[in-house]
Amino acid sequence: MASVLYQSIETLSRDKGIEPAVVVGAVEDAIALATRKYYKTQENMRAEMDRETGEIRAYVFKTVVETPEQVEDDINQMTLEQARELAPEVEVGGELRFYKDTTPLGRIAAQMAKQVIFQKVREAERDTVFNEYNHRAGEVLNATVKRLEPMDVIFDLGKAEARMPKREQSRLEQFAVGERVRVVLLRVDRAAKGPQVIVSRAAPALVQNLFQSEVPEIYDGTVTIRAIAREAGERTKIAVMSRDKDVDPVGACVGMKGMRVQSIIRELRGEKIDIIEFSEEITTFAEKALQPAKVSRVSITDLADKQIEVIVDDTQLSLAIGKKGQNVRLAAKLLQWKIDIKSEEEKRQEVESQMQAMSGGPTTPIEQVSELGEAILEKLIAAGITTVEALADMTPEQLEEVPGIGEKTVEKISVAVRHYFGQYEEGEDRPAPALSAASETEATESEEGSMEKTPEAILAEEAGVGTAQEVNNLSSEDIANAEEAESATDAFSDNDAREEQIELDNDTVDTLVDEAQENSDEGIDDGNDRG
């Protein structure tokens, strides 16, 4: 029958969760140390406990060597000859024991033995905790709230205490002492005061474990969880896939009237959960991951770097990004890809800038072409033609498709663009150099005088004849040519109003031509009479 001392050791071992042999070894080491201190010796000392009687004996042991030359420590070694005088059967490498009397050990020795026993037990307890939990990282455990600290929450796991730091807590959760909750074991840290078990309520593994508990299809493997992205206390995105084509993975996780997912949401204190069907096609998976936003198109921009570009409608951009970028951030975690999200307008501007860069050089506003009138400019800008370069690249057929642009206007535009780039045909007048203030005044007065001239005088100047009376001597063809030249010249002047005057008074011009033709016929008849 075991002694009372050994029974006490077994009770202590069960309470601390360690092996009885560890406690027995601690007691033996403590007695050996106390005995050596009492006898003030440097000899090797050991102790052994008899489980039946509970007696603990301490002894000094010496190692046997063959010759005196091999003796390195006179205190702890002896030759074979000396050993056989005490024990004839001893061999080289054996040990001889010399027992010490432990009866005179006093209170100080007992106190020292007690401290050694406690130290050994604590070390054994730490090793037991470390070995118990070190290999269980990622496992979900049931824990009881033991106490609340300013930043951390301390849980009782049964065999050890666990600490949950502030960063591993959900902002939605508040705990009470004695409350039972499920936690995820993150790691076991070795510290000076012993191993510390770190647990979490913010890890994605907690959500995965809750779905396994609530959804039978996940528990039996019909539906698998392929990816989870979580921001504790805010939102979780979970991607699921079914191995059975007849089982809807999303519907299985949601449950009848949402009962299954609502149970998980209550456990997480109201955290939002998005359940998404997994797809091997990354573009399809990205569209689903960005829900509830509607995606226009997805393209892979860098396969090696795992980067995709997502285009959404302008009205969907803020929804796709989410509050403080949460939606797109969780989607990127779920996909394990980098996501560059843009609106349709941003993409259009990007394409335009790329095309402009490919064409080379900066663009010039169409308003810089001074020979184009305001009416023509308005029509071109309304059609989306806003740069000189874009206007120069258009064909006459393309220009005629612009509303309000005809053949004559196309010719005017072509000449105006040529002149803007400094291209003048033979006989075309180049713009005059800038005038001084006095010259501008004279030019203004000249223009005002010209506005007072009659159509006959204008035609006379254009035809190169002296006065309006001499117009009568011109043929109808000369008069028409003069009118056309005047009209073509004035088409490109914004300040000269003569074109409008001539075009609005077409009846007067026609009358003038008729009168000139009659005068010409009369002159011919008079010549015949004189002949």
pLDDT in tens, the chain (531 residues): 456 777 777 787 777 777 778 778 888 888 888 888 888 888 888 888 877 777 788 888 888 888 888 878 777 788 887 878 777 787 887 888 888 887 777 776 677 777 777 777 787 778 888 888 888 888 888 999 999 998 899 999 887 889 999 989 988 888 899 999 999 999 888 776 778 889 999 999 999 999 998 999 999 989 999 999 999 888 999 999 999 988 999 999 998 888 999 999 988 888 899 999 999 999 999 999 998 899 989 999 888 889 999 999 988 999 999 988 999 999 999 999 999 999 888 888 888 777 766 665 556 788 888 788 888 888 888 888 888 777 877 888 888 888 888 888 888 888 888 877 777 666 666 665 544 444 445 444 444 444 455 555 555 555 555 554 554 555 555 655 655 555 554 444 444 455 555 554 555 555 655 665 555 555 445 544 444
Q: Where does residue 309 fall: left (phi above 0), alpha (psi -120 to 50 degrees), or beta otherwise? A: beta
Q: What is residue 437's predicted lDDT score, i.e. its pLDDT?
A: 43
The most distant pair of C-alpha atoms in the chain lies apart, rounded to whole Å, by: 182
d(CA 142, CA 404): 79
**DSSP β-ladder status, 153-156 and 140-148:** antiparallel
**From start to end of 337-426, where are the E strands?**
338-343
The C-alpha angle 246, 251, 252, rounded to 5 degrees, equals 75
Q: What is residue 487's predicted lDDT score, i.e. its pLDDT?
A: 52
Q: Which residues of 82-93 are buried (b: 16+ CB within 10 A; e: fewer)?
A: bbeeeeeebeee
d(CA 64, CA 76): 9
- For 279-361, CATH gives 3.30.300.20
- For 4-117, CATH gives 3.30.1480.10
d(CA 346, CA 196): 51
**Helix %, strand %, coil % for the chain, to 5?**
50, 20, 30
**DSSP β-ladder status, 223-231 and 235-242:** antiparallel
Six-digit token pair at 30?
């403590």
Sign of CA dihedral 300, 302, 306, 312: negative
**DSSP β-ladder status, 272-277 and 235-242:** parallel
| Residues present in the chain in total | 531
C-alpha dihedral (499, 501, 507, 510), degrees to nearest 10:
-50
Name the residue among 428, 431, 232 with its Cα closest to residue 333.
Answer: 232
Q: What is residue 449's predicted lDDT score, i.e. its pLDDT?
A: 47
Beta bridge partners of 163: 154, 198
d(CA 102, CA 31): 9
Six-digit token pair at 466?
């002296």
Taking the complete model, does pTM exceed 0.85, yes or no?
A: no
The CATH class, in words, for 366-420 is mainly alpha
Q: Collapsing DSSP states into helix, strand and coil, what is residue 110?
A: helix
d(CA 64, CA 160): 47
Q: What is residue 27's predicted lDDT score, i.e. its pLDDT?
A: 81
Instruction: Let me know if 379 is exposed, middle or buried by CB neighbors in 10 A (0-12, 13-18, 19+).
Output: middle
Q: Where does residue 91 fall: left (phi above 0), alpha (psi -120 to 50 degrees), or beta otherwise? A: beta
d(CA 162, CA 199): 6
d(CA 470, CA 457): 10
Sign of CA dihedral 360, 364, 365, 371: negative
Q: Cβ of 218: how many Cβ atoms within 10 Å?
A: 20
Domain map (residue ranges) of the chain: 4-117, 135-202, 279-361, 366-420
Q: What is residue 529's predicted lDDT score, i.e. its pLDDT?
A: 47
Q: What is residue 446's predicted lDDT score, i.e. its pLDDT?
A: 47
Six-digit token pair at 172?
């939605």
**Cβ atoms of residues 225 and 208 within 8 Å:** yes
Q: Which CATH superfamily hosts domain 135-202?
A: Nucleic acid-binding proteins (2.40.50.140)
d(CA 334, CA 311): 18
Angstrom CA distances, 470 to 66, 144, 235, 307, 466, stand at 154, 119, 94, 82, 7
**From start to end of 32-80, where are the E strands?**
45-49, 56-65, 77-79
Q: What is residue 443's predicted lDDT score, i.e. its pLDDT?
A: 44
